Structures are given as C-alpha cells and as structure tokens.
Structure 1
Amino acid sequence: MIIAVDAMGGDHGASAVCPGVIEACNRNSDLEIALIGDKTVIEPYLDKADGSVRSRIHVVHAEEVVDPNESPAKAIRCKKHSSMRIAMEMVRSGEAKGCVSSGSTGAIVAGGVLVVGRLKGIDRPGLGILLPTKKPVFLLDAGATVRCKPLNLVQFSLMGSVYMKDVEKLSSSPRVCLLSNGSEEIKGDDVIVAARERLRASDDLNFGGYVEANRVPMGDADVVVCDGFSGNVMLKSFEGLIKFCRGLVKETIQESWLAKAGALLLYPSMKRLGARVDYQRYGGSALMGVNGAVIKAHGRSKAPAIANAIGVAYSFVERNALERIREDIAQELEKVAAEETLC
C-alpha cells in the first residue's frame, strides 16, 4: 500500500514528517511511502532509517510549498508543483491509496475537492476527527464546510457512521446525534430541524436526536454532526480547555511541598491521563466525501502525530471505508429519487 505524504507542511516540516514516516513504516511492513518535497531537505533525515524501511520510502521532488497564508484555492490551482498538490494528484491517478499533510486546512479541503474530487452524490466534504473524550467520539464537520444545508448534515451522518463502524471498529451501531443548543425538539435552527426530520426517517442510522456540547465529552454520542463553523469552535475549545487544565494542575502542584509529594505518587496515572487527551494520539482528520483517503494532520504535529496520521490513512484504505461510504450515499440517493417520484 502506497501513501503519499507532504513532507513540507506544518510548523515543523520535514524535521517532524520524515521521522514520522520512518515510525509508520516500522509499524506496518506492507506500507510504502511517497515522500514529497525538497529532496535536498528530506534525504538527510532518512539516513536514520534501516535498510528495509528506507527501501519503502520513495522521495518525490517538489519545487513549491503551499504557504498557510495564501488563498487556499488559488494556491492549489496555481502551485501545480507543490508538495501538497503532487500528493493529491497521486491519489487521483491511483498511484497512491491516500495522502497525508499537516499543511493549511483550507488548501487541503480545496485540493480534496479540486484535485482528488468529490464522491458521486456528495454535495460538500467534511473534516472528521476523533475527540479525546471518555470514549472515542467522531466529530464531523470540524471545519471544511462552514455553512451547511440539511443535505450536508445527513451526508455527514452517513459518512461518520461508516467511519466509526469500519475504521474504528465500533462493536455496536454508532449512535449519531446532531449538535444543538438543547436536547428538546423545539431547539435548533431551520437547518438543524430539517436535518433531524430526514435523519429520523432513515433506516440505516442509529439516530439519537440532539446532543448538547456539554454532553459530548461524556460520550452520549458516537458521531456528533454539525456545520464546520460550530465543529471548529468545539474542537478549538477542547484543545484550549485541555491546555488550560494541564497548566492549572502544574501551577497547583507547585503551591506546596505536600502537593509535590502527592504528584510523585500520582505521576504514572497522570501520565496515562495526559496520553489519553493528547491530540498526537489521534493523528489527523479525515476529509470525508472525497474520492480517496485524504488526512489532515495537526499543524503542530511532531513525529508521533505524523505516524498516527499515516496510520489513519492506512486503516481507512485497509478497511475499505471509501467503498462503504459510496454504497451508503448511493442508497441515500436512490431513496431521495424514489421520494421525489412519489411526490
């Protein structure tokens, strides 16, 4: 299996991506990587790989890099020799089964639509990400489609359910809920209400109605569906709260020798807790609704997060999630066409 990886994206560029690629290849013996970027920058980092791993990493030279401050669509259209664009073209041509980048979110979404292409029947793509909650919760959309129609939310629900069943291997039928400002049916705007009625009529989903933001960390839903604006705000709130709590714990420990002594006893448990809420553990966001496994890694990703993002792409392909999404969307289109005929 070949996964194309943008070596130049993110805050750390090749210094994080290359070690992450090596780690991912060590984990999966059948994984090959097309590592795309400036060859002179990349190759020194690969000297640390042993022979069996190095032989599965193929460097593809790219002359350009997509800058996060550029217009996303313009950068994808104009910078045809950028590492991100080449990675996506490899997915479109079938040379690679998927691609990973920690570059600009906007450019990745634009590239997913303009280069890789949307799946037939998908109106808009959505970024799906696992949240560090009591149990894995898949949030969709986390920032790709800022303003949504009811159709978009229905399609996000179908894709999120497939992801949790086939990629995360959830043992039971995923409980899908719409993010709203209350659990009562009188809550929600016109878009949310219309999506709720369509989802309630679906036989393919375990639809659980509304979920409030304060219940998401408790695992009241397996899949939380919302527009990209709300989802991105929720995601950033999670990240900020986790960072705040870590800082607060450290400050409290420093207040007395007794707290310091207690912290030593609690250190193993606190270390495990820190790992549970570390964004690097979850790797990256899957751009759902495009014709390939396109994974957006966090911009701050270091080697472990890059390796995990590649693992997300690997699992997405290995478990045939794309074909399952195609099937579910095709069935939904057939139902909509039948309803329109009856009307």
Structure 2
Amino acid sequence: MRIAIDALGGDNAPREVVAGTLAAARGNPGTTFKLVGPRSRLDKHLTPNELPANVELMESGGVVSMSEEPAAALRSKPDASVAVSAALVKRGEADAFFSAGSTGATVAAALLGIGRLRGCRRPAIATVLPFTRPVLLLDAGATIACRPQDLVNFAILGGVFAERYFNLKDGARVGLINVGEEPGKGTDLTREAHALLGSTPNLNFLGNVEGRDIGNGTADVLVTDGFTGNVVLKTAEGTARASLGMVREAITSGGVFARLAGAVLRPRLSSVRDQVDPENYGGSFLLGVNGSVVIGHGNSTARGVENVLTGIAGAGSSLTENLQAALAKSTGRPS
C-alpha cells in the first residue's frame, strides 16, 4: 500500500498528523506513507534523521479551511494539500489518501481529482458505529439529497465493504433506516428505495430498520441519505459521551459504597470508553469514488491518525476493484 496523507488537514495539523504518520510508518514497514504539505511547515515537526525510510515528503500549497466553499476553494487552490493528495491517487502514485480536514473539501477533492466509480452517481461516507456488534452506517454526510437508486448503490458498496471489514463469511445483512418496519412507511425516497432494494440481485436486504434497533445487531449495514445519516452518527456519538458522563457522575458523587463499586467497575468502564472512542476505531471511508479515500475526525490526535493509517495499510489495495465489480454485477454494466 501507498498512502497519501493530507498533513494540513485537521484541528491539530500538522503536528499530530506528522507524529501519527511516523508512528504508523514504524509499525508498517511494508507500506509507503506520503506526507503532503509545505516542506517549511512539515520540517518544524521533524527532527534530523527521524524520517523512516518508508515516509516521503510531498510538497504542496496551503489548506482549504472549514469556512470556505469546498469546490470553489479547490478550483482557486489546485495545489492545496488535500488536492495534491487526491491527485497522487489519480495518477496511480498512491493507493489511498487520508485527510482529517474539511469533510466537504475531502469529498470535493475526491470527486474532482479522482472521479466516481462507473454506475455510481453520488458517493457515500461509510462509518462504523461501535456497538457490541459493530454496524456500518452510510451515508454519514457526503450526499444530503439522494435518489432511490443512490441508496441502492450505497447498499451494494456498504455490503462489500462490511464483508471485508467485519470478516463476514456469510455476507452482509443490509437494512434501510426508516420510521417503521412496514414497506409502505416513510417518505417517497424510502418507499421507492425499499422496492428497489428488495429486487436488487446479490443483496441480502432485510427491510426497514427503526432508529431504536440501530444498535441491536439487526443488520450489518444501515443505509440512509446523508442528512439522516449524519444526524444518526452525531446523536450516537453524543449519547455515548453523555451516558459515560452520567455513570462517572453517579460513581464520583455518591458515598463510600458508590466509590467502592466504581473501583470494581473501572476496568470494564474503561474498556467501554475505549470501544466508543473515535480515536480507536479510525476514520470513515468515502465509498463510490475511484480510489480509497478515508476521512478522519477533525480533532484527531497522533494516536487517532496512527490507528487510521494502520487500518488503511491492513485493508490492502484491491478494495476499489471489488467495489466496482459489485456495482457492475448488480447493475449489469461492465466493470
């Protein structure tokens, strides 16, 4: 694997991105890591003789900020670090690129610089929700307004990705997020998508999944539009933090027995905290573009960057080909 890293992407860039990349490089000597950014800014976070042999520095211009309109900013800044990272994938000099910067800029750079898979009109952000049995959610925010066929494409892409990511021997079970289990429930989008999903070959479609059932292991893949998916993702993350905070408050504000109970439970609570910590389960894959693109959390630390890059390195370089083949098989179009 060869991974391009947008060194300027994220709230803590480039310091944490550089540190995380160096750590990932030491742990994955067979992978090449291409740090993309202005050399003058990267050198500040590199000590002499520190650069591993499998890390390359790639010169670029500045960053696309959160406040800028992504497509317009990329057209005016073709040498921005996220654009250069995408161009490396387009030219075949990298197999994947990672950015913890503006999600909109990363999606726009992928679409403008790499292009879409054949048969896929819009991309989707696929995010793992770390329940007891993890579930893949898409779209988590790339395509706000979807057509029914877009949700079918998301289901196909998500099914292939989940089989690989979760090591599912019997295939992925796909559900459509809706306000009821019955096929006739929901909006025009969900009703039409339900009918299309049910008739799509090579897809294990279970039907509608209500919000209360998202975390109970009903499905391996949950499909929805980007607006709903982003709300679901942010709600799940916020609920996890709030729940852990309530447990912590109950333990620390109680009497001696509460504190004793807390001491007994602390190891288990720590493992639950680690399970839902975004720094541990990595970034989100942008599916539907002609290359592997991974989006990290904006506040990623070096640990989070290292975990994401290690995950990309372990995923291998054939994911894009597998996704294109699955789309072709379901649509009847040549891959």
Q: Shorter-chain TM-score: which interval?
A: over 0.9
Work out the number of aligned pairs and report it. Answer: 333
User: Alpha-carbon deviation of 1:127?
Assistant: 0.4
The structure 1 segments of at least 4 consecutive aligned residues displaced by more than 2 Å after TM superposition are: 43-51, 311-318
**Is 2:8–2:62's contact at 8 Å kept on the other side of the alignment?**
no
Distance verdict in 2 for CA 1:48–1:317, change over 3 Å: farther
Distance verdict in 2 for CA 1:297–1:151, change over 3 Å: same
**Is 2:202–2:330's contact at 8 Å kept on the other side of the alignment?**
no
User: Alpha-carbon deviation of 1:280?
Assistant: 1.3
* Residue of structure 1 equivalent to 2:208: 210
Aligned partner of residue 294 in structure 2, secondary structure:
strand
Q: CA RMSD in A?
A: 1.7
Alignment of 1:117-196 (within 5 A): 117-196=115-194
User: Alpha-carbon deviation of 1:197?
Assistant: 1.2
User: Alpha-carbon deviation of 1:333?
Assistant: 2.5
Distance verdict in 2 for CA 1:335–1:8, change over 3 Å: closer
Partners of 2:74 and 2:63 in 1: CA distance = 10
Partners of 2:294 and 2:109 in 1: CA distance = 12
**Is 1:98–1:317's contact at 8 Å kept on the other side of the alignment?**
no
* Farther off after superposition, 138-147 or 320-329: 320-329
User: Alpha-carbon deviation of 1:276?
Assistant: 0.9
Partners of 2:25 and 2:49 in 1: CA distance = 10
**Is 1:179–1:212's contact at 8 Å kept on the other side of the alignment?**
yes
**Is 2:124–2:287's contact at 8 Å kept on the other side of the alignment?**
yes
**Is 1:129–1:138's contact at 8 Å kept on the other side of the alignment?**
yes
Percent identity for Structure 1 against Structure 2: 36
* Farther off after superposition, 24-33 or 64-73: 24-33
Gaps of 5+ in 2: none
| Structure 1 position 223 matched with structure 2 position 233 | no
Partners of 1:304 and 1:219 in 2: CA distance = 28
Alignment of 1:18-97 (within 5 A): 18-47=18-47, 54-97=52-95
* Residue of structure 1 equivalent to 2:15: 15
* Farther off after superposition, 304-313 or 275-284: 304-313
* Residue of structure 1 equivalent to 2:283: 284
Q: 1:108 aligns with which of 82, 96, 106?
A: 106
TM-score (norm 1): 0.93
Alignment of 1:295-314 (within 5 A): 295-314=294-313
**Is 1:5–1:36's contact at 8 Å kept on the other side of the alignment?**
yes
Distance verdict in 2 for CA 1:217–1:325, change over 3 Å: same
* Residue of structure 2 equivalent to 1:253: 251
Partners of 1:178 and 1:226 in 2: CA distance = 6
Partners of 1:273 and 1:47 in 2: CA distance = 37
**Is 2:174–2:219's contact at 8 Å kept on the other side of the alignment?**
yes
* Residue of structure 2 equivalent to 1:271: 270
* Residue of structure 2 equivalent to 1:341: none
Partners of 1:262 and 1:23 in 2: CA distance = 37
User: Alpha-carbon deviation of 1:131?
Assistant: 0.6
What amino acid is aligned across from residue 34 of structure 2 in structure 1? A
What amino acid is aligned across from residue 186 of structure 2 in structure 1? G
What amino acid is aligned across from residue 314 of structure 1 in structure 2? A
User: Alpha-carbon deviation of 1:308?
Assistant: 2.1
User: Alpha-carbon deviation of 1:314?
Assistant: 2.4
